Each structure stands twice: as C-alpha cells, then as structure tokens.
Structure 1
Amino acid sequence: MSVISLELQIQTLPDGPGVYQYYDKEDKILYVGKAKNLKKRVASYFNKVHDTAKTNVLVRKIVTIKHIVVPTETDALLLENNLIKTLQPRYNVLLRDDKTYPWICIKKELFPRIFSTRRMIKDGSEYYGPYTSFKTVHTIMDMIKELYPLRTCTYDLNKSNIETGKFKVCLEYHLGNCLGPCEGHHMMEDYQTQVDAIREILKGNFKESMKGFRKRMNDYASKMQFEEAQKIKDKIAILENYQSRSTIINPKISNIDVFSIVSDESAAYVNFLEISHGSIIRSFTLEIKKKLDEPDEELLELSIVELRERFQLLSKEIIVPFMVNVGENIKVTIPQLGDKKQILELSQRNAKFYRIEQLKQLQIVDPERHTTRIMAQMQKDLRLPVEPRHIECFDNSNIQGTNPVAACVVFKDGKPSKKDYRHFNIKTVEGPNDFASMEEVVYRRYKRLLDEEEPLPQLIIIDGGKGQLSSALKSLDELGLRGKIAIIGIAKRLEELFYPGDSVPLYLDKRSESLKVIQQLRNEAHRFGITFHRDKRSKAAIQTSIETIPGIGEKTMLTLIKHFKSVKRLKLATEKEISDVVGLSKAKKITDFYKTN
C-alpha cells in the first residue's frame, strides 16, 4: 500500500478500545498492541521520531494496520495477550504460553471447592476469567468466603467416606468458615445451592443471591434476631458494592468459528472470529461487492465456505446470526443469550466498524462515489422517482406565540448549501398557527423560485406530522407543483415519515444513512430558525428601549446591549458602569429614564 493508504487507515480507525496489529509489505505480522483509544494510540506511532531505533525501524516497515474492537480496555489487555502468544510478532516481547492471568475455578467434585489458579486443567471443572490482576481475584474470593461458607480441604468427600466417618472437622469448621460436609453437617443439596449462587455471581448475575439474603434478613428481623439480621445486611452491602469483571470469552467456548454480516445497498461485510481454547486467535473481515441485490443469507453462506477454505478451518461448530446451509457435518448455532450471544455481538461490532472505516475512506478518496451511493440509498429507502440531489427542509419557530418565523435549509448532494438557506417572517398569519404558517412559507418559497426560473428541489421535507404536510400540499397544489416534487413530513416523536395520501407512516432503520441525512436536515432547519427567532426577539427588545429613551440613539443602545448582554442587565447597571461605556451625559439620561419608568 502507498503512504496515502496508510494515512487513510489511521484516519478511519475507531476511537474506542481494541487491539491493533501491524503488518509489513509481505503481510507478515510485525507487532500487536492494545489501546484505550485505537485511533489516538496508532496515530502516536507516526507523528514523531521515537527514542529507540528499533521502534523507528518498526514504523518504517508498517504497511497494513488491522484491528479488533472490544467492549472495554480490560478486554483489550486480555486479547492482546492471547494474540501475542498465538501470532508471536517479531517486535513484541514474546510471552510463554503459561499461566499468565489468574482464573477462578469451581472444581468438578461432589462438594466443589472454589479457588483461584493460573493453571487451567481440562477435567470438567468450570473456570471464570481471566482476570487482569490477582488483586481483583483476591477481592472476589474474600467476598465469596464472606457470603458462603464452603470447604477448602482436598478430602475425597464421597458418600462412603462421609458415612464411615473417615474425616473429622477441622479448625475452619470451628471458626465458622466451613459447615462440615466431611462429617455430614452440611448436606449436599444445600451446599450445591450455595455453589449455584456463586456461579451466578461470577457471571455478574447476583439477583437471586440478593433476593435470598433479603428474605433471610427480614425473617431474622421479624423474630427480633437483630444481630443475625445485621450480619445478613452486611452481606447484602458486599454484593451491592461488587463490580463484575469483564471477560472476552468463556473458556468453555472452544474451537468454534463465529461469522456475522452487515450490508448496505452496494456491499456486504462478513466478519470472522476464530476461537480456540477460550481465546480469540484470529479476526478477519471480508468485503463483498453486490451484483444483483443478493440477500444476506446467500452472501453469508458463500463467505463461510470461502473463509473456511482460505484459513483451513476445521471446527465442527459455527456461530451465526441466522440459519445457513453449509453442510451436514457442521453444527450451526444461533445464540439468543449468554456467552455465545456476546461473542456474536462482538463479531457484528467488528463488521460494523470495518464498514464505517471503508465508507470513511471512500468519502475521503472518492467523495463523488460516496455521494452517489448515499443518494441511491435515499432514493430506494424513501421510494423516490429520482435521486434527491437537491433537498429543502422547512421548520416553523414561534416561542409562546411571539415573533413567528420560519426557516428553509437546503442540502445539495447530501451536504448543507448555506448560501441557499432562507429565513421567513410570517406576514399573513395572526397568532401561533403552525399549519397556516407552513402553508404561507412553502407558497412564498416556490412562487419565487418559479418566478425567477430557479431550479426546484427533488425532495421537500416538512418538519412536522400530517397537519403540516397537508398545509404544505395546499401551496404546492395552488402552484401546480403537486406530483412534480416529492414531499414528506417527519414527526419528531418516533421519527415517523409521512407521505401524501398515506395514513400509515414509514419507519426507517435508526442506523440508516437516509434517516441520518433527514435528521441532519431537520436539526439544521430547527437551529437556523431558532437563531433567527432569537435575533428577532433581541432586536425587538432593543428597538423598544431605543424608541422610549429620549436622546439615546440606535448606535449607543447597540453598544450598551453588546456590553451588558441584555436590556435587563442594563436596567440594573449603575450610572458609573454605564458611563464607563458611553460617557457621563448619556449614562445620566439612561439611569434617570429607568428610575421613572
């Protein structure tokens, strides 16, 4: 890639947390790093000369930047660790594939022990984490110990050993830290209930634990056992203060491939995550140019076959957002909740960010093509006969019925054309009447364009619902323009789009680029109208003061309003404060006037 392409890659990186990967011209991995803000961190490599020669050499070799977005900075740290071990980049400090980060283990036993470990043994035990520090693990383990008394010994507590009295309770039992399952004092059913509660806490869900503790606390309180109730209350406080850790992947999710897709009018983007032993070891996004408006199902199936062949994937299970047909020997999972759903959402987020980056690069490199794509999308989404290259949007502004005005903003090729913006003072309508005001300004706008033989828009947008739209249509009818210009209304509450003669509104996807352009038009019209309305009210207030203070001209009053910011502040100002601005003689006239009025 050229230097310009590299600059584009940096320019279009997301601002959130993630892991970045540098590749050389032969597509060999050079470096893996984590970042709280991907764009800022990657840009910092290229905007200065580094202290070490090794880093400067690295920067000179970088040709391609790839990245994976993740929900949190902690996730970025964990993912970076996994990728360094897997990819072993030349410029990273190589990590041994050992017990780098701690886990919390629920041991597969009849009376499960719960402990922290850096070593994962595949014996059916459950592992939660990894955690970025042992301090976090110690805090969680202390909390668990405080909430639930479980055993810490390594005895083989099978039914035969307990019944024959092979083991005796230890000091932990006498201290109240264990309820003595070794002698049968703590029944297996009750013990398992506590383990289930701990399992939910480790997942970040402690609703049931809170519910059980509150019930016990109320029971103790009703029996006047306030000391016991206070102990339970303390446990509730511990749970309320607990913050669940963030994790990338549940270690149970192993040797699975994840595929997701996002698409638009012209292209689809398929993201692939390879999961091995509970870790993300590869991320790749494939861009597919559409030819015949192919459905997502067809494109995803083709992409899965292509990616599995390209990367020689042998996994027996894939996670996807909807059902696909990729052969009888592959298990297709469409998760609805839980850890698999979270990893699918992570894949979808990466596909979405990749698409955004490609569109940003297109906007910079080929703005005309970018505009053509958006116009084509708007024509399709809004069911228009032609692309809306010229759009005009109207908005009324009258606060408490005073100084009614309207605004018309103009977008050409999807961008504001501010030189074509127009303000309107309402002339024929008495009082606050949005419908009549809209009818007036639409008529005046297009009567003038017709008289001056100026080009008409392809689309008119009315900020309002069916009432304002009907009023605007009356003016178009009167001018003979109905049917010649497309017109729609947008209601603020639910972003409903109304069409003439259709009582059922159109709802666009909230992420739709077409809706974003319409919202930008509506917001710009509102801003432009409100600004004009405020200016008009301010001038009216100034004009009133100018007309009523003898010997004070417009220039003097404007100077004073500019200094004191409002007529109210001018009234409260002292003669000395006013004289500092306009002189003693005029200051005396103003203060004398406000004293008597």
Structure 2
Amino acid sequence: MFDAKPILKNLPNLPGVYRMINASDEVIYVGKAKDLKKRVSSYFNKNLPSPRTRMMVSNIARIETTVTRSEAEALLLENNLIKGLMPRYNVLFRDDKSYPYITLTGDEYSRLAFHRGAQRKGNQYFGPFPNSVAVRESIQLLQKVFKLRTCENTVFANRSRPCLQHQIARCTAPCVNFISAEDYRNDVHQAAMFLQGKTTEVIDSIAEQMSAAAAKQSYELAAVFRDRIQALHQVQAKQFVSDFNISDADVIASAELQGQHCINLVMIRGGRHLGDRSYMPKNTDGETLETTVQAFLAQHYVAQNTPPLIVVGVKIETELFEEVLSEQAGRKVKINTNPIGDKRVWLRMAQTNAELALGQRAATTANQEAKLLALREALRLPDSTERMECFDISHTMGEATVASCVVFDRGDMQNSEYRRYNITGITPGDDYAAMRDVLTRRYKKVAAGEGKRPDLVFIDGGKGQLGVAMEVMAEVGLDDILLIGIAKGEERKPGLETMIFSDTGEMVNLEKDNKGLHLLQQIRDEAHRFAITGHRAKRAKARLQSSLEDIEGVGAKRRKALLTRFGGLDGVKNASIDELASVEGISQSLAEKIYGELH
C-alpha cells in the first residue's frame, strides 16, 4: 500500500491541484482544492464512502501537487489537465469543440454563412448552436427576412446576372448592384441585431424605414418593409422566450439512472430557443449529480462562448464558477441554481429530456448486450469476446479504392475509433491486395504495442479475403486472433450470410431472427457505409480536380478563363457548347471537346 504520510505532512494549506498517479506512471485522477492538505488527506481516511474512490486510492503509487494563487486558478488548471490527460477516475465529457455558429463575414458585402472551427478576426459570430439543423433553420429565416447573400466569394465576384436565390426572394443580389452598398450594410446591421436578440429595436427601425418610404410615395419599398415586419412578428410569436430578461442563456439539467448520468443543455440565443443537447459523461459511477454538473461547467465552457446567464438544476459552488467564467468571458456571468417562474418551467423541460435520453440509452444498451450475448452463443465465442473490428473495401471499377475499419466495443459502436485507409500502389480492382494492404498497416501497429488488440476480426468477404487476412495476421505475429469471413448469401440478401472461421474453416449460417446475426449485420453494414462514404468523397474530389486538367488543349490560362466566366466548375459543366465557345481562347472545336469530356 502507498504510504501517504510523508507527502501529507509537507502539503501546504493553500489552493492548488493534485494528481494521483499509479504504478504505471499514469495519472488516474486530477482534483482541485481550496486547501491542498485537507483535501488530499481526506482520501486516506479509514471510512471512504465510495467504492470507486476506494478503488482509486488503492491504485495510487505517488501524488503530485501544484500550488495556485486562488481556487479559481486551480479550477482552470484542473480542467486543462483533465482535458489533456483523460484520467480514468475523473468524470469526463467528450471534448466537443465543433459547435456550429452563424457568421457574418467582414467583406464589403457581408456573407451569411454556417461556421465551425477557429474564428477569424473581422467576422461576426453568433452562437454556439446545439446542432447544425438549428443553424441552417436560422440562416433560412435570415434569408427570408433580410435577404443577405450566402454564396462563396469566388461565385459572388464572377456573377454577371442574379442567381436563383434572388429570383425566389432570398437575396437582394448585391453581386450585380441591385442594392446599394449602404442599404445592404443596413440589412446586415439589422440581421446582427436580430441575432443578438434585439428584435424589438429591429422592428422599430424597419417601421421608420417603412414610414419614410410611404412618405416619399415609394409604396413598393414600403410594402417590402411591411412584409419584413410581419415576418419578424411571426418569429417572435413562435420562438421568443419572454421570461428571460437576458437574451442569451443556457439551462442545464441532470438525471441519473443505474449509475449513468445525463446532462441536458438547453440553448437560448438572441431570445430564441434553439434546441437542446444531451451529454453522457464517462466515469460517473459513485459520483453525485452535483459533481457531474460541476465537471460539465468546467469542461464545456472552456471551449465555448459562455452566455451571461446559466440556469442550473443542482446546488453548486456558484461563486467560484461565476468568477472563473466571468474572467474567461470578459463580462459578468450569473449562475442561477434557484430559478422561479418560466425559468423553472424550462429547467423541468430540460430535466424531462435528460431522463428520456437516459431511458433511451439504457434500452439501447440492453438491446446491444442481448445481441452480443446471442452472437457469442451462436458462434461459440468465449465470454471475454468484447472488442470486434470489421473491414470492408469500396471502389468503382478500381477507382478511388478506400478501406474501412469499424469498431464494436464496450457494448456499442465506437465511432471515434473508426478509421479509413486510402489504398494506392495496387492493381485497380484487386480486392485481395487492398485487404492485405489495410490489414498490414493496421495490425503492424497493434503488434508493436500501438492501439488496442481486438478479440475478434470480421472480414467482409469470402474464403479469398479471409485467406489473405490469415496470411497477414501470421506475418505480423497476431495469428492467435480469431478471424471470421462474412460471405454474402444468394443474391446478397440479408439473413443468408455465411460465417467462415479462420481456425477451423467451419462454415456457419444463422437463423434470420437470431439477435447475434442482427449484431453481425449491424457491424458489417456500418463498415460498408463507412467505406462507401469515404470512397464517394475521394472519387468526387478526384473527378472535380481533374475534370478540366485532363482535357488536352485546356491549360492553366484557359482553365482560369472558364472558371472565372462561369463562376466555378459546376457553371462550366452547365454551359452549352456555344457559351463555352464565347470564352476568350476557346474555339468551337475545343468547346465541343470540353463539352464532350464533361458529359
């Protein structure tokens, strides 16, 4: 057992972060403390209440500490360490930095766009939104009301006539000067105010514009402003959250079921309810909901824009989190743990969603466990069979060959562990060579100690592909891993698959209603989906890049002239022979050749 007395004796009564480290030199837990000596000493009391905590303490080989200037600074350091080290005994949320935003670009004629990733200086960003659907719905709404452009700059700069968006009254066509720069800037400003929740101010401003237009007897323009006001009133009636005196807010509820916790996050931006999102953290067994919510606040808001109000359904250290989040946001952030009125109603709604998400997760998990048990029984696999990997190859007549590997582990498909492999240097269409390539690349690393070793490997194919797989596994020194080939049945109908075992050569068919077969089909179909999606993307990219470059007689200058004239490759493809011939440097015969190659 680890002797903590020498370390505890020398610990200061100061704020800081502590790290519990096991015999393998892995950080297994990171915590923060207002008083390091008191907090770390509490782990070595005789009567620890949580079995999970007792298990963690039993694995401690040494302890490291870092003193900080304040508890708030300790919270930030703790979160950074948790994000980087992913300790097995900390409550962990998926590091989701890919929330979508709406952006208004800093161009002379601002572009309304969907955005993920790093934010660029000069652009305005609004969000984050809970999902891409909420962003696209908001963009469509803004197009209807304010008619801002959404086209790429390359298209915008090369338009000679208005596009379809203008014809369906979704854009004022600044590309061909159908609106003045001043009027367009005003529309952009009003759209930004709307996204900030200043809907009433926007309506008042448009009403003044309508009155001014009517006074000048510009009745058609006044009617445009009237329609815009009506559309905004309809939006207010449908989506506006009247009780929230702050236009941006988050509502956080939590629920527990069978040791699994769920956090439901409701997002309100610009005074509108944008939707919600449920999170299932790891390592919550034995933890309280308060601990999980605090972990969510620390881990979630480091990467996101923090709204000025957060409504939380459990009692937490509000002062500490308000201090940290306010410092990060550069403005005051308020955390409300005792909501009243409509805020309490919103919290109950989030609570219901968290409970429903947990129920659905439990049902799905139970169903997957039943399928896994049935598969083990049907194929006479050992009870320890848990991690399964499946490979598939996708190409079109040998073009753009892609191999996929999907993973089933811990009772479910592990999307984050999926991998695609671009296959090159083989005879086009040679599936055996492609299978050899992908298996060699993957399992050489596993044999060298990189990555996780599977209990079972499925090969989507018959005896030929399975034979190749057996050769590869023998070459890399992993021939003790069971391989099963999945041969498609007659006319490739589901339920007629034949399983071929690598160790005995036995061929097994399962009943169509067998749950184990359903799991096998799920894994196989996921491998096929993942492979074909990658193949199509690779094929489309290759064809897009080479469409003009592969045409004899079309050099860099002519390619540039064509793309500039028609606003991109799609425009070139849609052009007629006569339109192609009208481009400088393109003769009638070359136009016919280009048209023929592209079609």
Q: Which TM-score band applies after superposition, normalised by the shorter structure? A: 0.3 to 0.5
Higher relative contact order structure (alpha carbons within 8 Å, sequence separation ≥ 6): 2
Give 1 or 2 for the bigger CA radius of gyration.
Answer: 1
